[in-house]
Amino acid sequence: MTQQPGTTTQPNITEEDLAPLSISHLPDSSQLKSGEQIRNFELLRLAFFALKQRKLEQNKISLQADEYEERSNLLSHAIFQQLVTLTELGAREQAMQIIEACRQ
């Protein structure tokens, strides 16, 4: 397919592509059986969100203020929810260590 100069092609976006994505629950067939496996998975999720927030802060200049604010708020909320979950799983101290390490 040849593209004319100055034109762009739009990807075909389906309704399925726009459906909300949820990662709050694991499938029934999940391999996470023990409390330790679940704790480790939740710690990994926390590290992911904390590192994404650090990356966002490092690239703050390239974003508009309102876009930065929205992304930062979403990540802060996700980190808070992970902290609540990990506190319930008895891993609050480990969670705080991960958050602190990601801020450095």
Q: Where are the domains of the chain?
A: 35-103
Cα 91 from Cα 104, distance rounded (Å) = 21
What's the confidence (pLDDT) of residue 12? 61
Assessment of whether the complete model's pTM goes beyond 0.75 = no
Residue 20 amino acid letter = P
Residue 101 amino acid letter = A
Cα 53 from Cα 59, distance rounded (Å) = 10
Task: Per residue of the chain (104 residues), give pLDDT as tens.
Answer: 455 555 545 456 666 655 555 555 555 666 777 889 999 999 999 999 999 999 999 988 888 989 999 999 999 999 999 999 999 999 999 999 999 999 88
